[in-house]
Amino acid sequence: MIIDVHGHYTTAPAALGAWRDLQIAALKDPSLCADPKALRISDDEIRESIETNQLAKMRERGSDLTIFSPRASFMAHHIGDFNTSAAWAAICNELCHRVSQLFPDHFIGAAMLPQSPGVDPRTCIPELRKCVEQYGFVGINLNPDPSGGHWKEPPLTDRWWYPIYEVMVEYDIPAMIHVSTSCNACFHTTGAHYLNADTTAFMQLIQGDLFKDFPTLKFLIPHGGGAVPYHWGRFRGLAQEMKKPLLKDHLLNNVFFDTCVYHQPGIDLLTQVIPVDNILFASEMIGAVRGIDPETGHHYDDTKRYILATPHLTEEQRFKVFEGNARRVFPRLDAALKAKGL
């Protein structure tokens, strides 16, 4: 199977965005009253939004299953308070669940959490449990910076985050470390803030000893790990100066990287530097980079082509990247596939 571990519902029907606009407007004018029950999106609208977009491209490019979560840039945890985020997360997660019900052979859910700046992460646990127990979701997205580019929360190794980690370990689900929209003009959302966050998260994990407390906790760092593979020597050297264990022992039993890297040299570097057991196939399609590369004539985010073309992988290793590693890192995904005889 070709399992894409990084997909977002970027093509949701327009009614979702309209409801969100109303919710944001209601923060200043409560008389507007953004009632979740007022949002009406039919199954046919969902089918059209998926069949003509993600599913069409999956069939065209030859991928089978996508781990599907709410649109990352729409999470916008910095807007409003916890109640704002809770209502928004519940709506977005339910829509992804409906996608997985309508297309059970092609999509399975991962949850957005109702995070809010400065709010105890314990408040996210009811939504997390609902998504796993009722919706059958196999992972979560965890935003290390709910403030939207101002980094007001403690580092990921701080005990502040432990309540979420405890539930992740209980359910044996990984978290993709994924920020949302930047509200800091210094950081472009997808070109800077996302990649900065990937790099920052990895450095935070080097500085701490989180996996001594949670030896089975698993994180997926998206977008190829930001700057991490390119500066692998820097990170190895910094860990050494900090008297940390070798990175393969300190982090690589618990930290994984996806292949959302949109050119062949980038994938060649990733697969040469990072151990194959730590690389999971992903495209983030339809996501941040949607155009066609004039140098190749193919879409930038058609990442399967790069995996097939790189000289650094054997066929056995390609199987790990395309399927085997995803089943290992997402045990609930593996169980769901086995239940279908796959």
Q: Which residues are catalytic?
A: 284
Residue 25's SS3 state is helix
- Distance (Å, rounded) from C-alpha 70 to C-alpha 286? 12
- Distance (Å, rounded) from C-alpha 28 to C-alpha 202? 38
Question: Nearest to residue 107, comparing CAs of 167, 164, 47?
Answer: 47
- Distance (Å, rounded) from C-alpha 53 to C-alpha 226? 26
Question: Nearest to residue 327, comparing CAs of 263, 293, 283, 281?
Answer: 281
257, 278 Cβ separation under 8 angstroms:
yes
Q: Find the DSSP H helices in 29-115.
A: 43-51, 54-61, 72-75, 82-102
- Distance (Å, rounded) from C-alpha 212 to C-alpha 249? 11
Helices 194-207 and 232-241 pack at an angle, to 10 degrees, of 30
* Amino acid making up residue 160: W
* Amino acid making up residue 122: R
Residues 6+ apart with CB under 8 A from 326: 3, 5, 67, 280, 281, 333
- Distance (Å, rounded) from C-alpha 188 to C-alpha 42? 34
CB-based burial of residue 47 (10 Å sphere; 0-12 exposed, 13-18 middle, 19+ buried)? middle
